[in-house]
C-alpha cells in the first residue's frame, strides 16, 4: 500500500494511470514534458529570482508586460516558491516531515489580515482543471477566513483569473482530497488504465520499449 505524501500533480498522475503513477514514484519511469514545460520552468525561475531580491531580468520577453504587476506584489514581501504540507489531521507540518499527508509548492503566497493570497504563474493556455487546482491550494493553507487564488497567464497579458474561496470551500476541498488520497493509499494493484489519450506518450508503452503491454 502507498503511504507517502501526495500532491495535486500526483493525484492527477494517478487518475491518468495508476501503473504509471507507481512506476514514477518508485523511480522506474520518468515523464518528459518537452520544450514548453522547460520554458515554463525557466520563466518560473526568473520570477522566483525577482521576488528573492535579484534584479528584474529584462531578457525574458514574456515577462516584460508584467513588470508593474510584479512590482506591486513585491512590496507585500510575499513568499515565492513556498513548500507547504499538512498531516492527516490537516494541520500544517514541514514539507519533508515524515507525517506529511498532502503537500505542494505555491508559486507565490502572502497574507493580509485573515485572507490568504496565492498566485499561480501559468505559461501556455487556460485549462478547465485550474479551478480544481485552486481548491488544492487552499486546502494546504488551513486557518483563514478567505482565500484569493489568482491564475496569472503570463503568455496572455493581462489575463488574470481570480477565484475567491471561503471556509466552506476549504472544508469541501479537504473532504474531496481525503477521498482521493484514500483511494490511492488503499490501492494494492495499481493496474494500468489504457486509453488512446494517455498511452501514446507514456514511457511504459511497449511501443517505446516500456514494459506495459496494455497500450492500444
pLDDT, average across residues 80-98: 97
User: Which residues, in sequence order, are CB contacts of 163 under 8 Å at separation 6+?
Assistant: 131, 134, 148, 149, 150, 151
Could you tell me the three cell numbers for 109? 503566497
Angle between helices 18-25 and 8-16 (to 10 degrees): 130
Where exactly are the structural domains of the chain? 38-189
pLDDT, position 33: 82
pLDDT, position 62: 74
pLDDT, position 198: 87
pLDDT, position 58: 63
pTM: 0.93
Could you tell me the three cell numbers for 47? 520570477
Residue 197 pLDDT grade (very low, low, confident, very high; cuts 50, 70, 90) = confident
Could you tell me the three cell numbers for 186? 488503499
Q: What is the 3-state secondary structure (H, E, C) of 40-72?
A: HHHHHHHHHHHHCCCCCCCCCHHHHHHHHHHHH
pLDDT, position 200: 87
At 33-47, the pLDDT tens digits run: 889 899 999 999 999
**Looking at the predicted structure, is the pLDDT value of residue 191 above 70?**
yes
Residue 187 pLDDT grade (very low, low, confident, very high; cuts 50, 70, 90) = very high
Q: Report yes or no: 57 and 87 within 8 Å, Cβ to Cβ.
A: no
At 118-137, the pLDDT tens digits run: 999 999 999 999 999 999 99
Residue 145 pLDDT grade (very low, low, confident, very high; cuts 50, 70, 90) = very high
pLDDT, position 59: 60
| 38-189 placed in CATH 3.40.1350 | yes
Amino acid at each position: 500500500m502507498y503511504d507517502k505524501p501526495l500532491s495535486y500533480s500526483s493525484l492527477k498522475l494517478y487518475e491518468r494511470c495508476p501503473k504509471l503513477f507507481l512506476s514514477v514514484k518508485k523511480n522506474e519511469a520518468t515523464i518528459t514534458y518537452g520544450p514548453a514545460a522547460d520554458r515554463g520552468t525557466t520563466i518560473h525561475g526568473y520570477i522566483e529570482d525577482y521576488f528573492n531580491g535579484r534584479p528584474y531580468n529584462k531578457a525574458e520577453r514574456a515577462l516584460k508586460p508584467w513588470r508593474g504587476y510584479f512590482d506591486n506584489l513585491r512590496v507585500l514581501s510575499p513568499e515565492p516558491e513556498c513548500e507547504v504540507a499538512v498531516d492527516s489531521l490537516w494541520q500544517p507540518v514541514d514539507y519533508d516531515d515524515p507525517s506529511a499527508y498532502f503537500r505542494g509548492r505555491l508559486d507565490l503566497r502572502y497574507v493580509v489580515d485573515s485572507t490568504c493570497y496565492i498566485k499561480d504563474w501559468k505559461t501556455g493556455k487556460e485549462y478547465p482543471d485550474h479551478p480544481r487546482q485552486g481548491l488544492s491550494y487552499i486546502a494546504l493553507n488551513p486557518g483563514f477566513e478567505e482565500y484569493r487564488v489568482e491564475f496569472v497567464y503570463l503568455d496572455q497579458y493581462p489575463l488574470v483569473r481570480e477565484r475567491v474561496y471561503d471556509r466552506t470551500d476549504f472544508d469541501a476541498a479537504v473532504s474531496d482530497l481525503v477521498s482521493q488520497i484514500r483511494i490511492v493509499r488503499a490501492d494494492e494493484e495499481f493496474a494500468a488504465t489504457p486509453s488512446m489519450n494517455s498511452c501514446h506518450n507514456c514511457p511504459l508503452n511497449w511501443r517505446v520499449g516500456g514494459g506495459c503491454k496494455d497500450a492500444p
